[in-house]
Each structure stands twice: as C-alpha cells, then as structure tokens.
C-alpha cells in the first residue's frame, strides 16, 4: 500500500505476541495483493483493465469492500469516490508536476470519476466500470481496512492488547504496557514530529489524512493529494483531518471525505454520525473539533 505499517502486541508470553504480529503482517500482505492497483496481478487491476469492456468476477471480500466504498460515496454526496483514480495521470504528488494541468485535461479525466458508474452484480459477484478509462483505487480506505483485518487476526490468536499503525491510520485495543488506556498523539501538520494534541483511545481507531504527506504548491496555493471528484481539482483549505471512531475503515474513508467536503459541510456530516468524532486543522492553523470531541492536552 506504499505505506509503513507498525504492529505492536502486548502479552506476557513473547511467543503469543510474535505469533500475533506475524499473523497481522501476513494478513496485511494478503490484502495488499487483493486491493493494490499497482500490482497488475490483483483483482483490482483486472477490474481497471476491463473498464468499459466487461464485468470481472471478484472475491466476496473485495466485492463487499467496493459496496461499502459506494455506500460512503452516497453518504458523502460523492466527496468520497474510489473512481477518483482515473485522475492519477493528471495530478501527481511525487514532485514531478511543475505546472497546473490545463482545464480541458482536468475536465476530461474528471468525467470518468463517478461512483454511480460502478456496476455491481451481487449474485455473480461481478464488478463493471461502465466507461473505458475509468479506474478505482483504495488509497483512502485500504489502510484502514487492512488495519481492522490485522487486528481481527491478532485478537483471534489471543492478543488482548495491541496497536496497528498504518502510516498514521491507527487502531488500538486493550491497555498499554503500564496497564493504562492507550494514548495517541495527533501530529502537528507543520512539524510532523511534534504532537498537537493527545487522544485517549479505548478500543478504537484514530485516522489522520494530512496534506503534509503529499501536496503541490502553485502560485502560493497548497493543493492536497486528495481530489474533489466533483471538480477534478485537489482540495485546498485544510491541512489535516483526524477521525476518531471504532471502525478504522470508516475512519479512513471519512477523514478523506471531510478534506473534500471542507470544514462546514464536513463537520455537519460528522456531527450527525453517532460515535464518530473529528479534529480539523485548517490552512490558518485553526483547530476545529466536532461537537463531542474530547481532547487531552497532557501526554
């Protein structure tokens, strides 16, 4: 998934802890092979290759992940959209882009971005992208999904306390080594190694989308690596969004969604969702929390 995963297990028996960690790593690799759009062998790549040509029959697991992704597109009014991936030829956040792409190119690519053009046949477990050139990608949801599945493997092996950290998408359960609730630091978007605020995690996930990871600057405007599927342009105005809830997959998808929706609409959505909180850092370094967010400023 192009990201560094860290897996921790706390158990008095080192063998149990290591077995848990190894099972989590194997699970993360298995998921990578299913959902990666970089690996030409993955089912996801096959779906993309057959876009506009024919439906592809996939594993139940991948089918359900796509169904859930489409569901999130619906509740976010299209702000979250796994078909954003057709834009990856237009916007590059690896330093290779030296000028703004022209508006025609953006318009053309964004016409292929539309979750409503993903056709799902549950009976046959078939996925069809209706237009040639369409592509799906799990960059905004896959790490959270993998973290959840890795946790499930560890719990099945008896690991009662652990952390899976997928490049900042984090899930923790149980207690830390001092038998205290696990605390997670939210990084300062300006200085990644500084902690802006602490959150106590009680069997839950904290997932952060941040444009300090990847962005480009044109004419003094900072464009994040998250694309607004409705315009085809990268989002501006927000530096980072952290989502706190029990499900890391949902947290992952929602962190990306709030980036696209912006502060006002993003908070409106999160405040309606039970058990989901968020913390936004704006371009002006303003910290804005959802209604029931409780921050802990001591480490």
Write out the residues near ligand AMP by the rule CB under 6 A: 80-82, 84, 137, 139-140, 209, 225-227, 229, 252, 255-256, 260
Strand partners, 75: none
Contact window for Mg ion (CB under 5 A) among 117-125, 232-240, 255-263, 280-288: 255-263
Please say which residue, 9 or 166, places its beta carbon nearer to ligand AMP. Answer: 166
List the one residue from 1, 51, 106, 140 that touches Mg ion (CB under 5 A): 140
- Residue 205 beta carbon to Mg ion: minimum distance, rounded to whole angstroms: 11
Contact window for Mg ion (CB under 5 A) among 50-58, 230-238, 252-260, 274-282: 252-260
- Residue 143 beta carbon to ligand AMP: minimum distance, rounded to whole angstroms: 7
Q: Look-up: residue for tokens 């001591």?
A: 298
Beta strands 182-187; 195-201: pairing state = antiparallel
Nearest CA to 252 among 148, 135, 163, 150? 148
Question: What is the dihedral angle through the alpha carbons of 272, 114, 51, 259, rounded to the nearest 10 degrees?
Answer: -60
With CB cut-offs between 5 and 8 Å by kind, which of ligand AMP, Mg ion, none does residue 226 bind?
ligand AMP
- Residue 34 beta carbon to ligand AMP: minimum distance, rounded to whole angstroms: 17
- Residue 137 beta carbon to ligand AMP: minimum distance, rounded to whole angstroms: 5
Number of residues that bind Mg ion (CB under 5 A): 5
Environment class of 38 (CB within 10 Å of its CB; exposed 0-12, middle 13-18, buried 19+):
exposed
- Residue 260 beta carbon to ligand AMP: minimum distance, rounded to whole angstroms: 5
Strands, E assignment, the chain: 5-10, 56-57, 118-121, 126-129, 161-166, 169-173, 182-187, 195-201, 204-210, 215-218, 221-224, 238-245, 277-282, 287-289
Note whether 200 and 182 are within 8 A (CB).
yes
- 148 forms part of the interface with Mg ion (CB under 5 A): no
Q: Which residue minimizes CB distance to Mg ion?
A: 256
């Amino acid at each position: 998934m192009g990201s560094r995963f860290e897996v921790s297990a706390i158990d008095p028996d080192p063998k149990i802890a290591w077995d848990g960690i190894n099972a989590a790593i194997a699970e993360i690799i298995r998921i990578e092979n299913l959902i990666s759009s970089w690996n030409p062998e993955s089912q996801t790549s096959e779906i993309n290759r057959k876009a506009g040509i024919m439906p592809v029959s996939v594993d139940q697991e991948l089918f359900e992940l796509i169904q859930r992704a489409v569901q999130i597109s619906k509740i976010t009014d299209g702000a979250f959209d796994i078909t954003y991936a057709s834009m990856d030829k237009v916007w590059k956040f690896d330093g290779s882009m030296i000028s703004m792409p022209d508006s025609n190119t953006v318009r053309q690519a964004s016409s292929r971005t539309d979750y409503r053009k993903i056709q799902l046949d549950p009976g046959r477990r078939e996925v069809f992208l209706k237009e040639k050139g369409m592509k799906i990608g799990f960059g905004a949801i896959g790490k959270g999904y993998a973290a959840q599945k890795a946790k499930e493997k560890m719990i099945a092996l008896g690991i009662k306390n652990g952390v899976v950290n997928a490049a900042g998408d984090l899930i923790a359960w149980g207690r830390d080594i001092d038998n205290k609730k696990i605390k997670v630091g939210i990084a300062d978007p300006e200085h990644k190694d500084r902690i802006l605020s602490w959150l106590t995690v009680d069997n839950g996930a904290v997932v952060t989308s941040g444009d300090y990871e990847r962005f480009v600057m044109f004419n003094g405007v900072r464009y994040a690596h998250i694309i607004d599927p409705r315009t085809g342009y990268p989002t501006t105005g927000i530096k980072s969004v952290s989502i706190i809830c029990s499900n890391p997959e949902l947290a992952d998808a929602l962190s990306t969604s709030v980036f696209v929706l912006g502060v006002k609409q993003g908070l409106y959505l999160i405040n309606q969702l039970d058990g989901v909180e968020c913390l936004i850092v704006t371009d002006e370094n303003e910290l804005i929390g959802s209604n029931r967010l409780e921050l802990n400023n001591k480490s």
